Structures are given as C-alpha cells and as structure tokens.
Amino acid sequence: MSSITRRNFLSAGTASALALAASRFTVVELHAAPKNSKNKNTPEVALDNFIAAYMRAMNAPGMTLGTASKSGTVRVAAYGFNDPDLKQKIDPAQLFHIGSITKSFLSLVLLQLREEGKIDFQRPVLEYLPWLPIETPFAPVTTHHLLTHTSGLPDALVLFPSERTAKWQQGYKPGEKFYYSNMGFDILGHLVEALDGHSWPTAVKTRVIDRLRMTSTSSNITNDLRPRTAKSYVPLFDDRPYPRMGKLTPAGGFQFDDAAGSIASTAHDMTLYAQMLLNRGQGPDGRIISEESFVLMSKPYVKAEEFGPTANYGYGIAVDTLDGHPVLRHTGGMPSFASAILLDLETGAGAFASINAMQGYRPTQVVQYAVQLMSAAAAATKSLPAAPAIDDPMTVANAADYVGSYVTSDGKKLDVSGDKQLFAAINGKRVALQHAEGDSFLTDDPEFARYLFTFGRTKAPDSEKSDAKESESKTDAKPTEEKPKPQPVIELTHGPDWYRNDRYTGAIDFKPSETYKAFTGYYVASGMFPASAEILVRKGELWMEGAFQLQPIGENEFAPDSGIPERVEFLFVAGGKARLMKFAGEDFWRFERS
C-alpha cells in the first residue's frame, strides 16, 4: 500500500472529516525530556509529526503515549481529544483500558507462584482446577499450553457456559499450533486465585502493580473508575464492516475483571511496567521475577503470525525481532480502546500507546516508530529512521487482479474497474471500494455497506505447494524477498450473492440443505462485548459472514472449516427459524431486520 496523502482522502464525504481531524491534534505532556528549541530534527518532533499524520489517517479521537528506557520514564504525552465535540483534550493522567497486555501481568504472577513451588507448568490444569468446564480428549491441557495459546481450546469470552452441563471442547492436540484463546487466560486467572488464596485483581495488585509503584493503575475495570477514565468511542454502526473514516459514537459503561484483559492504567504507569521488563524482571524495590523466570517468559515457544510475520509467542507476550534486535510486543483490544506495547531488549527502549476508540486496528506503528527513534538516539545515529508508511485503504496496488466483469448464476452482473483505486458497478450504481484485508473490500455506501466484497482465487497447484514446502525445508537456503505469484481471481462474494468471471471453471449450480433455511438470519449478542453475526447461504454452503464457512458436525451444530476449535449451535427452532445461536461463549439471539 502507498503512503496516505491528503489528496487521497479529499473525496466525497471525507474532506470534512479530515478538516476536523487536522484541527483536533494537540499534544499535552506530563513528563518530557529536555528539548532543543533550535533543532527541529529531534526524535520527539519526528514522532509527534508521525502521530499527527497517523491519527488523521486512522480517524483516532485521542491517544496516550509513554516511552521508557532501562533507567526510567522518558516521556509521557497525550494527543487529540477526550471529547472532540467539546474540544476537551486528553489528559495524560487519564486511565485507558490496556486489554490483552494484561496477559503479560498474569504470566508474571504465575512465574512468581512457580518460583514459590506452588505450581508445575507441565502438570494438567485439571489437577489444580478439577471443576473446569472443559473436555480434553486429545491430551491434557497444562499451564504451559494456556500461557502460550496452544491448548486447543476455543477463544470463548466467558469460561462458564450458560447451560449448566455444557463443557468447552478441545479442538486438537495441545502444543500443535497457536490459536489465541482469551478463555485460556480466564482459566489462568482462576488458577492464580486457587494457588494464591486471593482473587485475580487482588493478587496482581499486590504482587506486581504495587511493587512497581503503579499508583494510578487498577487491576479491574469498574464503574468507580469512570471519572478517571478517558471518554471512549465505538463505531456508530455495529452490524457492518467499519470504514476508515466511519462515524464514531461514545461508548457506554463497562466493567470487567477477567484476567485476559482487566487492567486499566495510565501511560506513565505503563512506562514503569516497561522499565521492569526492559530490566528483565528487576523492579525499583527488587526483582518481580527471577532471571530464570524472565528467560522462560521471553522464550519463543510457538509461531504466532497474528503478531507479525516473524513473531512467536512466549508466556503472555509475543517474542519478535525489530531491526535485528530481540523485542517483546503485545496488543490489547477492548470494546472502546486499542493499545500496543513494544520493548527492545537490546537497546533498552520501550513504548506504550493506547487509543480511546476501537476501530479494528492497534497503534503498533506508533510504538514501533517510537522505539526505533529512541534506539537511534541512544546509538547517536546522525539520521533519524524514516517514519512508517501509513496505508491508504483507497489505494490498491494490485487493482488489476480484481478488474473485470462478474455474474451470478441468475444473470445479475457486477463490474469492477479502476487503476489504483477500485470501483464496483452494481444495480446501476458505482461505488468506491476500500481495502479491508487480504482480498476483501468494503464500501461506505449505505446500500452495500453491510457486507464485504471478497474476491476468491484459484487454488495453488499441488506442485507449487510441494515446491514451497521443499524450499522451506532447506535451512541453509538464503532468505529471499520474492513471494509466490498470486493465483488468478475467479470469483467474488457480497453477502449471499456469489459472482464468477470468465476464468472460473467450476460448478455453477448449488443445492443447499433444506435445514439451512432455519439458521440463516441476523443474530445479536448483548453481553460484556456486544456483537452481531449474520448467517447466510453461499454457493450452497452455510457461512458466518466475514468469518468462515460452517461444516456440520451434529444436529444443528457446526464447526468452522478453518480448523479452529470453535463451535456454532442453533437452538429453539420455532416457526421455521432458529431463535438462538451459541458461538464463542455468547448467546446470539435472532433479530429480524427489515
């Protein structure tokens, strides 16, 4: 993707949004390193300039930032607005929900308990918590598996199913592969309580937060924190993909004590946490964990591409490299906050950032650039590293892959055109397409905004797959930047509609199971993490829109075809329609849309 420019976004409906974003950028500093007013080519100025561009491009209301070295806090700053309508600035002392960065706090507590001889990470967790509502037919699940997201358990948002006798099913043998499971860390929070004798919030506060003098940090998110917490935002529409410049609306109240993401903190307090990790477990009043435990925490156990193409996962934190240096990194997503932390263990530079909105991305580029600038300054590098390119979702470098005419089996036509930007002509209307991810695009046109436009390619021939595997097996081969040539695009889906182009050679008529009619529709969950899902039939198969195809595994029960350990079940079929869908620990109730 090319870098974003003001001109790229000065299209209908976006000029006014950019004008607002440009006017709202402010910087408030709580703790700043000395500045040389005569020299504008400083790391701080470079970072502030990048953050200004980043916030405009990503439509971020406000952001808090903290940077640290092994010696202590380097800088704490806040950008943008707590309330854009009132032009109320973000206060650096405000709390932000750090989300899954909490998982590294949890690993520290468990490593302490291991040092105290209270737990063996290789013993089955059911030996410690025999009441857990899980079944492990493939092999026992250990604390090690849970800490590394290799348990084979699903990513449920709740540990206890709403049905009294229900149990979570293991999807494959533990240790085989990485699959992010928030429920796994919820289990670990209960394990801490059982071994420590105190609740998770009390244990982490006593064992980590207080010992690091993080006096503003809370170990659980309660209503009492709301006066000290930044006002936060969510997309106005929660039933469709979010466009980059989509409208936001204030989020409601939120309470959370799950160990997978319960901590609320300030940027300053997070610099104290970063300093401890940069010092390999050494806190201001003694070690939080031993050197041996830090090695265990920061060891790369399993490939975790979710955190980057070269990332692995340790205990509660991702292990990666940046510019040839070993780094620890993690992100955190909450209903209305998005956070990131990055720690360069070689240069001793660390950064934390959090945005007061959830729009599907995390401020990873911000913390990465902050750390790179700090590392360059520490090395007395004459020139500063270039700022990361901010992707422009309206610019599509490989637009030619998708251009062409597509048709449904009943003759409905869709034309895709464009050079560096894609447009779809459908139902007599031409709409601009914005890149979402992979081969998927979206539009903010209300008539077509509910569904992604997802292109499908031919499958790679078996010979190419074999060649790729053979190449990967040659450990002495030199790394190359050359990527396999993408396969031709042959089809396109938009909601239940399936289109094909003249390169498509497969079947064109599909007969879905009659039972699928009862399951299709729109479902809404109203738990701690509100969500919605649409079930539809496409090419004769049942799909969860924007997610995966569903394969039948039992009566009214399905599993994703992508090999992940999730289950989807439809219940209470009345009047020819399922009224309840169970997915990822949530109850999704049918909602009739006109």
Going from N- to C-terminal start, the domains of the chain cover 1-94+222-255+266-280+345-392, 103-197, 399-461+483-500, 514-590
The three-state secondary structure class of 434 is strand
* pLDDT computed for residue 221 by the predictor: 97
Top CATH class of 399-461+483-500 equals mainly beta
* pLDDT computed for residue 7 by the predictor: 24
Helices then strands, each counted (H, E), the chain: 11, 34
Residue 586 CA, distance from chain mean position: 19
Point out which residues pair with 283 in neighbouring strands: 286
545 residue type, one letter: E
Task: Find, among 343, 327, 322, 357, the residue nearest to 248 by Cα.
Answer: 357
* pLDDT computed for residue 23 by the predictor: 41
Per residue in 444-482, is it b (16+ CB within 10 Å) or e — as a string?
bbeebbbbbbbbbeeeeeeeeeeeeeeeeeeeeeeeeee
In sequence order, what are the residues at sequence separation of 6 or more whose Cβ sits closer than 8 angstroms to the Cβ of residue 410? none
* pLDDT computed for residue 58 by the predictor: 96
Report the distance separating Cα 169 and Cα 296, nearest Å: 28
Task: Find, among 394, 414, 354, the residue nearest to 65 by Cα.
Answer: 354
Let me know the angle formed at the C-alpha of 209 by 208 and 212, rounded to the nearest 5 degrees: 85
* pLDDT computed for residue 40 by the predictor: 67
* pLDDT computed for residue 480 by the predictor: 46
Q: What is the pLDDT along the chain (594 residues), one digit of tens a residue?
A: 333 222 232 233 333 333 334 445 667 777 665 555 446 679 999 999 999 999 999 999 999 999 999 999 999 999 999 999 999 999 999 999 999 999 999 999 999 999 999 999 999 999 999 999 999 999 999 999 999 999 999 999 889 988 888 899 999 999 999 999 999 999 999 999 999 999 999 999 999 999 999 999 999 999 999 999 999 999 999 999 999 999 999 999 999 999 999 999 999 999 999 999 999 999 999 999 999 999 999 999 999 999 999 999 999 999 999 999 999 999 999 999 999 999 999 999 999 999 999 999 999 999 999 999 999 999 887 789 999 999 999 999 999 999 999 999 999 999 999 999 999 999 899 999 999 999 999 999 999 999 999 999 998 876 555 454 444 433 333 444 566 789 999 999 999 999 999 999 999 999 999 999 999 999 999 877 888 999 999 999 999 998 999 999 999 999 998 889 999 999 999 999 999 999 987 899 999 987
CB 431 within 8 A of CB 443: yes
Task: Find, among 173, 157, 177, 110, the residue nearest to 316 by Cα.
Answer: 110
* pLDDT computed for residue 246 by the predictor: 95
Which structure tokens are listed for 233?
């935002």
* pLDDT computed for residue 463 by the predictor: 52
How, if at all, do strands 521-525 and 531-538 pair? antiparallel
In sequence order, what are the residues at sequence separation of 6 or more whose Cβ sits closer than 8 angstroms to the Cβ of residue 118? 195
- Sheet strands (E) in 345-500: 349-355, 404-407, 413-417, 422-426, 429-437, 440-442, 453-457, 489-494, 497-500
Other C-beta atoms closer than 10 Å to the C-beta of 497 total 18
- Residue 15: in which H helix or E strand, if any? helix 15-23
CB 64 within 8 A of CB 267: yes
The three-state secondary structure class of 207 is helix
The three-state secondary structure class of 231 is coil
Which structure tokens are listed for 488?
């031709």
Other C-beta atoms closer than 10 Å to the C-beta of 382 total 6
